[in-house]
A and B are shown apart, each in its own frame.
Chain A
């Protein structure tokens, strides 16, 4: 009993947690973009892939992994900013902007995915882990990189939360989301704030890509597979809620990793999606719906 707990469950839980942290990072970007801008970003997964691909290329050029962690978001911020300004704001004033922005980002995702195939090829690339070795905890070996991923991810998630809820900048962002007209009459450049918020979400997805590249391989459709999980997390947690994304992210990835022990790995995805559908049916606002009570 104790042995199975130690050698079977503990590694599975740690694996689940390290993926959970990355999923939360993705979901965080999605939920910020929805909570503040009312945009369902279907291309979020492709920005996650962008982060992974750019880091692979940078590392091939000799840039160290640690520098990539800084450089990739810096590359993605202007791209996200430009996309919001040039495309999303074009359809932002229509009545059915929910659907139009969803369609628009869906189109962008299509273009990006094919662009990756052209630039990097369809074959998976596997970068080596920047931290090698494993540490022993309670008699079980855990890969050091996964331990780092959990610590660093938790730090990032905390920083994003603090940025939005504890700083002046965050107050400006929340004010712009809450009342666009009032904020702009107070002199806040609302449109620029929106574009920056979108860029921040996109940069977070890219960062998740850099962090997960050494664990999974990097390939053009990687975003599509991962975004489904991130969407489920955002829905279960409540669209727009940071707290919800964190809690749901950890719950769902644990559900995924524990159920793959008990049932079979092939059934863990349908299980997660079933939870998502059930939540949508009975509590569409999720566990902690709405940015306002996050």
Chain B
């Protein structure tokens, strides 16, 4: 593969996977909890960002309300774990199935419009949902829900529990990895090509004889599932859920993450999330005003490198490549 974009993606994949393993081993040796938990959270929010990227980078639809589906997954998972049974697979299964249904319903509302209107309608939907959760007593209202139990997760290597930071980090890595692999698989199918065509020129698609409605709906539902499953991991990590998970700042943060990491690469958002989370934690030790720094970086990236870090890397690799060719 000589395509610099593909090379950049491959590079980021390897980089993230190897640093995850290094972190896991180092964390196990030093019995560290903080960094492993931080990395787990980065992966979870990376999953949310990946769902934003599927819509924005692949299909060309900017969603400003992806926190709705993330929060839906988190709340539903917390409910299942608390009320029905503390089972990882049951929670993930129920969240997956319900989010398919939710995404299907929401797609009928959201996909009636495109462009700026799509952004605003997803934003509006999420606002309504967040306010409803915030005002509902039985969901804990503004306090959220606490006391999500620690669970045993069955694996071929024996049963492990979520209170073990290293083990849960690996479980999260695996879950997000599976979501990533599923999305990457979809990109290789004809559906993936249609998504790409929709982003380039949706009107033209009809002339060539393809309908864009169905593929857009599939992408929307997939994005909902990815966001919801990522959200389902959250209460397992933190033991609680709060309505803040559904607020606009979470959706906005996900968009920032995607743009920072690289739009349209799927792995870029994970990289962006890892970088942003570590960045916030480092800057957070000496000032609470990390938003101003992140905001400035974000603005600079939008203006000067709209393809984000993955784009910069691809550019660098491409340059290297051509200069070698020239020799």
- Chain A residues in contact with chain B, CB under 8 A? 40, 87, 90-91, 94, 96, 98-100, 102-104, 106-111, 113-115, 117-118, 224, 228, 231-232, 235, 239, 266-267, 269-270, 273-274, 276-277, 280-281, 284
CA distance A118 to B117 in the complex (A): 34
Flag if B119 contacts A40 (CB, 8 Å): yes
Contacts A106-B252, A115-B292; A91 near B135 (Cβ below 8 A): no
Contacts of B120 in A (CB 8 A): 40, 231, 235, 276, 280
CA distance A55 to B120 in the complex (A): 31
Residues of B within 8 A of A266 (CB): 131, 134-135
Q: In the complex the two chains form, is A274's CB within 8 Å of B128's CB?
A: yes
Most B C-beta atoms less than 10 A away, residue of A90, A94, A232, A273: A273
Inter-subunit contact B259/A103 (CB<8 Å): yes
Q: How far is the CA of A231 from the CA of B116 in the complex (A)?
A: 12
B56 contact set on A, CB distance < 8 A:
99
- A232–B132 Cα gap in the complex (Å)? 17
Docked pose: A110 CA to B253 CA in angstroms: 10
> Of B115, B119, B127, which contacts A273 at CB under 8 A?
B127
Contacts of B60 in A (CB 8 A): 96
Residues on the A chain within 8 Å of B289, using CB:
114, 117-118
**What are the interface flags for B279-300 relative to A under an 8 Å C-beta threshold, 1 for contact and 0 otherwise?**
0000000000101101110110
Given contact pairs A107-B302, A239-B116, enumerate 15 new A-B contacts (beta carbons under 8 Å). Answer: A87-B303, A90-B303, A99-B115, A103-B259, A106-B252, A106-B256, A111-B291, A111-B299, A117-B289, A228-B248, A231-B123, A269-B127, A274-B128, A277-B124, A284-B113
User: Which residues of B lie under 8 Å from residue A269 when comparing CB positions?
Assistant: 127, 131
**In the bound complex, how far is the Cα of B125 from the Cα of A274, in angstroms?**
8
Whether the Cβ atoms of B121 and A277 lie closer than 8 Å is: yes
Q: CA A107 – CA B259 in complex, angstroms?
A: 11
User: Do A277 and B303 have beta carbons less than 8 Å apart?
Assistant: no
| Distance, CA A110 to CA B124, complexed state (A) | 20
Q: Is the CB of A108 within 8 A of B295?
A: yes
Determine if B302 and A91 form an interchain contact, defined as CB atoms under 8 angstroms apart.
yes
